[in-house]
Structure 1
Amino acid sequence: MSKRELIEPNPGDKRYARRDDEGRFTEMVDVGKSLSQDRRREAKTEAPKGQGDRGDRRH
């Protein structure tokens, strides 16, 4: 699984995107929604760096 990268297709519209082996977008999610869901849920697994949507990071 590739790392998520932060893109801004339009000013003020930031998104986390994931690409496949050929560089095409496979998954895209709005940053605001992603961060708000992170705050609402307690993840059961610890995710590696760049995979924040797959679980929590230890601080």
Structure 2
Amino acid sequence: MAKGKKGAVELISLTCSECGRRNYTTSKNRRNIQGKMEFNKYCKWDKKHTTHKESKIK
């Protein structure tokens, strides 16, 4: 693959809104979903379900 070429699908990480840790990674299609994704997922450090928001993978 050529460097710098952007496709429709990109990898993202999901960051916990309470502890700030990146717990999950997933992919999203930028053509279908323009805004930031947000899920209610389990955080093993908080030991409860919290809101996880999209962030970039470093």
State TM-score, norm by structure 2: 0.29
Larger strand proportion of the pair: 2
State TM-score, norm by structure 1: 0.29
Q: Which has the higher contact order (CA 8 A, sep 6+)?
A: 2
Larger helix proportion of the pair: 1
